[in-house]
Amino acid sequence: MSGRRQAEVRLSVLDTSPIVQGSTPRPALHNTVDLAVLADALGYHRYWVPEHHGMRGVASSAPAVLVGHLANATQHLRVGAGGVLLPNHAPIVVAEQFGTLAALHPGRIDLGLGRAPGGPRPAVDAVRPEKEWTAKTFRQQLDELRAYLNPTEDARVKAIPVLGGNVPPMWLLGSTTTSAELAGELRLPYAFAHHLNSEMAADAIRVYRERFRPSDHAATPTTLVSVSVIAAEDDERAEWLAGSTQLKVLSRVRGNRILLPSPEDAAAYPYTVDDRAEITARSGSVLVGGPETVAKLLQKVLDDTGTDELLVTTPVYRHADRRRSYELVASIAERLRLSAKH
Protein backbone atom coordinates (compact mmCIF):
# COMPACT_ATOMS: atom_id res chain seq x y z
CA MET A 1 0.00 0.00 0.00
CA SER A 2 2.94 2.37 0.46
CA GLY A 3 3.26 5.01 -2.22
CA ARG A 4 -0.32 4.68 -3.47
CA ARG A 5 -1.77 7.63 -5.35
CA GLN A 6 -3.98 10.12 -3.55
CA ALA A 7 -6.94 9.21 -5.78
CA GLU A 8 -6.97 5.62 -4.57
CA VAL A 9 -8.87 4.13 -1.65
CA ARG A 10 -7.28 4.62 1.75
CA LEU A 11 -7.28 1.87 4.35
CA SER A 12 -6.97 2.69 8.04
CA VAL A 13 -7.33 0.93 11.41
CA LEU A 14 -9.78 1.21 14.30
CA ASP A 15 -8.52 -0.65 17.36
CA THR A 16 -10.40 -0.99 20.66
CA SER A 17 -7.49 -2.82 22.34
CA PRO A 18 -9.74 -5.86 22.91
CA ILE A 19 -9.38 -7.85 26.12
CA VAL A 20 -10.29 -11.39 25.13
CA GLN A 21 -11.28 -14.32 27.30
CA GLY A 22 -8.35 -15.37 29.52
CA SER A 23 -6.41 -12.15 28.97
CA THR A 24 -5.90 -8.81 30.78
CA PRO A 25 -5.50 -5.14 29.78
CA ARG A 26 -1.69 -5.23 29.68
CA PRO A 27 -1.31 -7.68 26.77
CA ALA A 28 -4.28 -6.05 25.05
CA LEU A 29 -2.51 -2.69 25.03
CA HIS A 30 0.81 -4.23 23.99
CA ASN A 31 -1.02 -5.92 21.11
CA THR A 32 -2.34 -2.52 20.05
CA VAL A 33 1.20 -1.14 19.88
CA ASP A 34 2.35 -4.19 17.91
CA LEU A 35 -0.55 -3.86 15.47
CA ALA A 36 0.12 -0.15 14.98
CA VAL A 37 3.74 -0.88 14.08
CA LEU A 38 2.56 -3.51 11.59
CA ALA A 39 -0.04 -1.16 10.11
CA ASP A 40 2.64 1.50 9.72
CA ALA A 41 4.85 -0.93 7.82
CA LEU A 42 1.95 -2.11 5.63
CA GLY A 43 1.09 1.41 4.55
CA TYR A 44 -2.20 1.97 6.36
CA HIS A 45 -3.12 5.65 6.45
CA ARG A 46 -4.34 6.27 10.01
CA TYR A 47 -4.78 4.42 13.29
CA TRP A 48 -7.60 5.39 15.65
CA VAL A 49 -8.39 4.27 19.19
CA PRO A 50 -11.75 4.91 20.90
CA GLU A 51 -12.84 5.98 24.37
CA HIS A 52 -14.77 3.47 26.47
CA HIS A 53 -15.39 3.27 30.21
CA GLY A 54 -16.20 0.34 32.48
CA MET A 55 -16.25 -2.17 29.61
CA ARG A 56 -14.19 -5.16 30.66
CA GLY A 57 -13.54 -6.24 27.07
CA VAL A 58 -12.02 -2.90 26.02
CA ALA A 59 -8.65 -1.59 27.23
CA SER A 60 -8.87 1.66 25.27
CA SER A 61 -10.19 4.05 27.93
CA ALA A 62 -7.73 6.93 27.69
CA PRO A 63 -7.27 7.78 24.00
CA ALA A 64 -5.04 10.84 24.52
CA VAL A 65 -2.54 8.70 26.46
CA LEU A 66 -2.66 5.86 23.96
CA VAL A 67 -2.42 8.15 20.93
CA GLY A 68 0.80 9.67 22.25
CA HIS A 69 2.33 6.24 22.84
CA LEU A 70 1.32 4.98 19.40
CA ALA A 71 2.68 8.08 17.69
CA ASN A 72 6.01 7.48 19.42
CA ALA A 73 6.04 3.85 18.28
CA THR A 74 5.29 4.58 14.61
CA GLN A 75 6.70 6.80 11.87
CA HIS A 76 4.15 7.49 9.14
CA LEU A 77 0.65 6.74 10.42
CA ARG A 78 -1.78 9.45 11.33
CA VAL A 79 -2.79 8.55 14.88
CA GLY A 80 -5.94 9.71 16.58
CA ALA A 81 -8.99 9.26 18.71
CA GLY A 82 -11.96 7.54 17.18
CA GLY A 83 -13.13 9.14 19.23
CA VAL A 84 -13.04 11.34 22.27
CA LEU A 85 -16.53 11.39 23.80
CA LEU A 86 -16.87 15.11 24.25
CA PRO A 87 -19.64 15.16 26.89
CA ASN A 88 -17.22 13.37 29.23
CA HIS A 89 -14.70 16.24 29.18
CA ALA A 90 -14.26 19.94 29.57
CA PRO A 91 -13.60 21.16 26.01
CA ILE A 92 -10.51 23.13 27.05
CA VAL A 93 -8.90 19.94 28.40
CA VAL A 94 -9.48 18.15 25.08
CA ALA A 95 -7.96 21.13 23.24
CA GLU A 96 -4.94 21.14 25.55
CA GLN A 97 -4.38 17.38 25.29
CA PHE A 98 -4.62 17.17 21.51
CA GLY A 99 -2.84 20.47 20.99
CA THR A 100 0.04 18.98 22.96
CA LEU A 101 -0.03 15.82 20.83
CA ALA A 102 -0.11 17.89 17.64
CA ALA A 103 2.89 19.92 18.83
CA LEU A 104 4.86 16.77 19.61
CA HIS A 105 3.84 14.96 16.39
CA PRO A 106 3.18 17.63 13.74
CA GLY A 107 0.86 16.59 10.94
CA ARG A 108 0.12 13.17 12.41
CA ILE A 109 -2.66 13.66 14.98
CA ASP A 110 -6.44 13.40 14.43
CA LEU A 111 -9.21 14.35 16.84
CA GLY A 112 -12.39 12.37 16.29
CA LEU A 113 -15.36 13.40 18.45
CA GLY A 114 -18.46 11.53 19.51
CA ARG A 115 -21.40 12.09 21.80
CA ALA A 116 -22.10 8.53 23.01
CA PRO A 117 -21.75 7.81 26.75
CA GLY A 118 -19.07 5.18 26.17
CA GLY A 119 -20.06 2.59 28.74
CA PRO A 120 -22.61 1.45 31.33
CA ARG A 121 -24.38 4.18 33.28
CA PRO A 122 -22.48 3.76 36.59
CA ALA A 123 -19.15 4.11 34.79
CA VAL A 124 -20.37 7.10 32.78
CA ASP A 125 -21.59 8.84 35.94
CA ALA A 126 -18.23 8.18 37.59
CA VAL A 127 -16.42 9.83 34.67
CA ARG A 128 -18.63 12.91 34.76
CA PRO A 129 -21.90 13.40 36.64
CA GLU A 130 -24.99 13.79 34.48
CA LYS A 131 -25.66 17.34 35.62
CA GLU A 132 -22.25 18.32 34.25
CA TRP A 133 -22.33 16.57 30.86
CA THR A 134 -25.89 17.71 30.20
CA ALA A 135 -25.33 21.32 31.27
CA LYS A 136 -24.57 22.22 27.64
CA THR A 137 -25.79 20.68 24.41
CA PHE A 138 -23.38 18.70 22.28
CA ARG A 139 -23.45 21.49 19.71
CA GLN A 140 -22.48 24.02 22.41
CA GLN A 141 -19.64 21.79 23.54
CA LEU A 142 -18.43 21.46 19.94
CA ASP A 143 -18.56 25.21 19.43
CA GLU A 144 -16.57 25.77 22.62
CA LEU A 145 -13.93 23.25 21.57
CA ARG A 146 -13.66 24.77 18.10
CA ALA A 147 -13.15 28.18 19.67
CA TYR A 148 -10.26 26.82 21.75
CA LEU A 149 -8.70 25.19 18.68
CA ASN A 150 -8.99 28.39 16.64
CA PRO A 151 -8.74 31.20 19.20
CA THR A 152 -9.19 34.87 18.40
CA GLU A 153 -6.53 37.33 19.48
CA ASP A 154 -8.78 38.73 22.21
CA ALA A 155 -9.99 35.37 23.55
CA ARG A 156 -10.24 35.57 27.34
CA VAL A 157 -9.07 31.96 27.82
CA LYS A 158 -6.77 30.11 25.44
CA ALA A 159 -5.67 26.49 25.20
CA ILE A 160 -1.97 27.32 25.10
CA PRO A 161 -0.62 24.15 23.40
CA VAL A 162 -2.66 24.83 20.24
CA LEU A 163 -1.03 28.21 19.66
CA GLY A 164 1.40 28.38 16.76
CA GLY A 165 -0.63 26.03 14.57
CA ASN A 166 -0.73 22.92 16.76
CA VAL A 167 -4.31 22.13 15.77
CA PRO A 168 -5.32 18.55 14.88
CA PRO A 169 -8.05 18.03 12.27
CA MET A 170 -11.45 17.52 13.90
CA TRP A 171 -13.73 14.70 12.73
CA LEU A 172 -17.31 14.16 13.83
CA LEU A 173 -18.19 10.52 14.47
CA GLY A 174 -21.65 9.03 14.22
CA SER A 175 -23.93 6.14 13.36
CA THR A 176 -27.12 8.04 12.43
CA THR A 177 -28.26 10.74 10.04
CA THR A 178 -28.44 13.17 12.99
CA SER A 179 -24.66 13.20 13.30
CA ALA A 180 -24.40 13.43 9.51
CA GLU A 181 -26.56 16.57 9.46
CA LEU A 182 -24.46 18.23 12.15
CA ALA A 183 -21.16 17.34 10.47
CA GLY A 184 -22.40 18.77 7.18
CA GLU A 185 -23.70 21.94 8.80
CA LEU A 186 -20.37 22.51 10.58
CA ARG A 187 -18.33 21.51 7.49
CA LEU A 188 -16.42 18.92 9.52
CA PRO A 189 -14.99 15.67 8.16
CA TYR A 190 -17.41 12.85 8.96
CA ALA A 191 -16.70 9.27 10.08
CA PHE A 192 -19.65 6.86 9.93
CA ALA A 193 -19.74 3.67 12.05
CA HIS A 194 -20.84 1.06 9.52
CA HIS A 195 -19.70 -1.60 12.00
CA LEU A 196 -22.43 -0.39 14.40
CA ASN A 197 -25.21 0.49 11.94
CA SER A 198 -24.46 -0.87 8.48
CA GLU A 199 -27.99 -0.34 7.15
CA MET A 200 -27.86 3.43 7.60
CA ALA A 201 -24.37 4.04 6.18
CA ALA A 202 -25.36 5.06 2.65
CA ASP A 203 -28.17 7.36 3.82
CA ALA A 204 -26.00 9.05 6.44
CA ILE A 205 -23.19 9.79 3.99
CA ARG A 206 -25.74 11.11 1.47
CA VAL A 207 -27.28 13.41 4.09
CA TYR A 208 -23.84 14.66 5.09
CA ARG A 209 -22.96 15.58 1.51
CA GLU A 210 -26.32 17.27 0.98
CA ARG A 211 -25.90 19.41 4.11
CA PHE A 212 -22.26 20.30 3.40
CA ARG A 213 -21.70 23.80 2.04
CA PRO A 214 -18.17 24.59 0.78
CA SER A 215 -16.18 27.35 2.46
CA ASP A 216 -12.66 28.74 2.30
CA HIS A 217 -11.68 26.40 5.14
CA ALA A 218 -13.47 23.28 3.89
CA ALA A 219 -13.92 23.13 0.14
CA THR A 220 -15.18 19.55 -0.16
CA PRO A 221 -16.91 17.01 2.10
CA THR A 222 -14.56 14.44 3.63
CA THR A 223 -15.68 11.01 4.82
CA LEU A 224 -14.48 7.69 6.09
CA VAL A 225 -16.50 4.59 6.97
CA SER A 226 -15.51 2.17 9.73
CA VAL A 227 -16.08 -1.48 8.85
CA SER A 228 -15.74 -4.72 10.78
CA VAL A 229 -13.63 -7.17 8.75
CA ILE A 230 -12.42 -10.70 9.46
CA ALA A 231 -10.11 -11.89 6.68
CA ALA A 232 -8.29 -15.21 6.51
CA GLU A 233 -6.63 -17.40 3.90
CA ASP A 234 -10.00 -18.70 2.72
CA ASP A 235 -13.70 -18.27 3.44
CA GLU A 236 -13.93 -21.38 5.62
CA ARG A 237 -11.23 -20.27 8.05
CA ALA A 238 -12.59 -16.73 8.17
CA GLU A 239 -16.05 -18.04 9.06
CA TRP A 240 -14.49 -20.19 11.79
CA LEU A 241 -12.67 -17.18 13.25
CA ALA A 242 -15.90 -15.18 13.11
CA GLY A 243 -17.52 -17.70 15.43
CA SER A 244 -15.93 -15.87 18.37
CA THR A 245 -17.71 -12.59 17.77
CA GLN A 246 -20.94 -14.39 16.82
CA LEU A 247 -21.03 -16.16 20.19
CA LYS A 248 -20.22 -12.93 22.00
CA VAL A 249 -23.07 -11.11 20.26
CA LEU A 250 -25.47 -13.99 20.93
CA SER A 251 -24.50 -14.04 24.61
CA ARG A 252 -25.14 -10.31 24.89
CA VAL A 253 -28.57 -10.69 23.29
CA ARG A 254 -29.35 -13.50 25.74
CA GLY A 255 -28.39 -11.25 28.68
CA ASN A 256 -24.97 -12.76 29.41
CA ARG A 257 -22.09 -10.43 28.60
CA ILE A 258 -18.85 -12.33 28.02
CA LEU A 259 -15.34 -11.57 26.86
CA LEU A 260 -14.51 -12.59 23.29
CA PRO A 261 -14.19 -16.40 23.39
CA SER A 262 -11.84 -18.57 21.37
CA PRO A 263 -13.09 -19.90 18.03
CA GLU A 264 -12.70 -23.41 19.46
CA ASP A 265 -15.12 -22.58 22.29
CA ALA A 266 -17.47 -20.92 19.83
CA ALA A 267 -17.46 -23.97 17.55
CA ALA A 268 -18.21 -26.26 20.49
CA TYR A 269 -21.16 -24.21 21.76
CA PRO A 270 -24.53 -26.06 21.61
CA TYR A 271 -26.42 -23.62 19.36
CA THR A 272 -30.17 -24.01 19.01
CA VAL A 273 -32.12 -23.28 15.84
CA ASP A 274 -33.19 -19.97 17.40
CA ASP A 275 -29.57 -19.18 18.25
CA ARG A 276 -28.53 -19.72 14.64
CA ALA A 277 -31.33 -17.48 13.41
CA GLU A 278 -30.32 -14.76 15.87
CA ILE A 279 -26.70 -14.93 14.71
CA THR A 280 -27.73 -14.72 11.06
CA ALA A 281 -29.90 -11.67 11.78
CA ARG A 282 -27.11 -9.85 13.60
CA SER A 283 -24.01 -10.77 11.58
CA GLY A 284 -24.55 -8.67 8.47
CA SER A 285 -22.31 -5.81 9.54
CA VAL A 286 -19.21 -8.04 9.84
CA LEU A 287 -17.47 -8.64 6.51
CA VAL A 288 -16.04 -12.16 6.60
CA GLY A 289 -14.06 -14.19 4.08
CA GLY A 290 -10.90 -14.90 2.18
CA PRO A 291 -9.19 -12.15 0.16
CA GLU A 292 -11.48 -12.46 -2.87
CA THR A 293 -14.65 -12.37 -0.79
CA VAL A 294 -13.48 -9.51 1.41
CA ALA A 295 -12.44 -7.48 -1.65
CA LYS A 296 -15.98 -7.79 -3.05
CA LEU A 297 -17.59 -6.91 0.30
CA LEU A 298 -15.37 -3.86 0.81
CA GLN A 299 -16.00 -2.72 -2.74
CA LYS A 300 -19.74 -2.84 -2.07
CA VAL A 301 -19.30 -0.54 0.94
CA LEU A 302 -17.29 1.85 -1.23
CA ASP A 303 -19.92 1.76 -3.97
CA ASP A 304 -22.82 2.21 -1.54
CA THR A 305 -21.31 5.13 0.37
CA GLY A 306 -18.96 6.79 -2.10
CA THR A 307 -16.32 7.18 0.59
CA ASP A 308 -12.63 7.02 -0.24
CA GLU A 309 -11.43 5.67 3.12
CA LEU A 310 -12.26 2.54 5.11
CA LEU A 311 -11.39 2.29 8.80
CA VAL A 312 -11.03 -1.41 9.52
CA THR A 313 -11.66 -3.08 12.88
CA THR A 314 -11.09 -6.82 13.30
CA PRO A 315 -12.75 -8.67 16.21
CA VAL A 316 -10.87 -11.98 16.42
CA TYR A 317 -9.56 -13.89 19.42
CA ARG A 318 -5.87 -14.42 18.68
CA HIS A 319 -3.55 -11.52 17.96
CA ALA A 320 -1.72 -13.52 15.28
CA ASP A 321 -5.00 -13.95 13.40
CA ARG A 322 -5.73 -10.25 13.76
CA ARG A 323 -2.32 -9.37 12.32
CA ARG A 324 -2.88 -11.75 9.43
CA SER A 325 -6.28 -10.27 8.70
CA TYR A 326 -4.78 -6.79 8.33
CA GLU A 327 -2.00 -8.18 6.12
CA LEU A 328 -4.58 -9.77 3.83
CA VAL A 329 -6.69 -6.61 3.68
CA ALA A 330 -3.58 -4.63 2.78
CA SER A 331 -2.84 -7.13 0.01
CA ILE A 332 -6.15 -6.40 -1.73
CA ALA A 333 -5.87 -2.60 -1.46
CA GLU A 334 -4.89 -2.16 -5.09
CA ARG A 335 -8.06 -3.94 -6.25
CA LEU A 336 -10.40 -1.49 -4.54
CA ARG A 337 -11.83 1.33 -6.64
CA LEU A 338 -13.34 4.67 -5.82
CA SER A 339 -17.08 4.79 -6.43
CA ALA A 340 -18.59 7.10 -9.02
CA LYS A 341 -20.37 8.75 -6.05
CA HIS A 342 -17.06 10.08 -4.74
Q: What value, to the nearest 5°, has the Cα angle with vertex 38 and ends 35 and 44?
A: 100
Looking at residue 20, its pLDDT comes to 98
Instruction: Report the pLDDT averaged over residues 230-253.
Output: 97
pLDDT tens for each residue of 136-182: 999 999 999 999 999 999 999 999 999 999 999 999 999 999 999 99
Looking at residue 218, its pLDDT comes to 82
Looking at residue 46, its pLDDT comes to 98
Q: In sequence order, what are the beta bridge partners of 48?
A: 14, 80
| % the chain with pLDDT above 70 | 97
Q: What value, to the nearest 5°, has the Cα angle with vertex 106 and ends 143 and 147?
A: 15
Looking at residue 131, its pLDDT comes to 85
pLDDT band at 342 (very low <50, low <70, confident <90, very high): low
State the pTM of this model: 0.95
| CA contacts within 13 A on the Cβ side of 291 | 13
Whether 52 shows a pLDDT value over 90: the answer reads yes
The C-alpha R_g of the chain, in whole angstroms, comes to 20
pLDDT band at 6 (very low <50, low <70, confident <90, very high): very low
Instruction: Report the pLDDT averaged over residues 74-101.
Output: 97
Domain 10-228+286-335 falls under CATH 2.60.40.10: no
Looking at residue 4, its pLDDT comes to 43
Domain-wise residue ranges, the chain: 10-228+286-335
Instruction: Report the pLDDT averaged over residues 25-40.
Output: 98
**8 A C-beta contact, residue 73 and residue 137:** no
pLDDT tens for each residue of 172-214: 999 999 999 999 999 999 999 999 999 999 999 999 999 998 8
Instruction: Report the pLDDT averaged over residues 319-331.
Output: 98
Instruction: Report the pLDDT averaged over residues 94-114.
Output: 98
Instruction: Report the pLDDT averaged over residues 291-312.
Output: 97
Instruction: Report the pLDDT averaged over residues 42-49.
Output: 98
Q: How far apart are CA 173 and CA 176, in angstroms?
A: 9
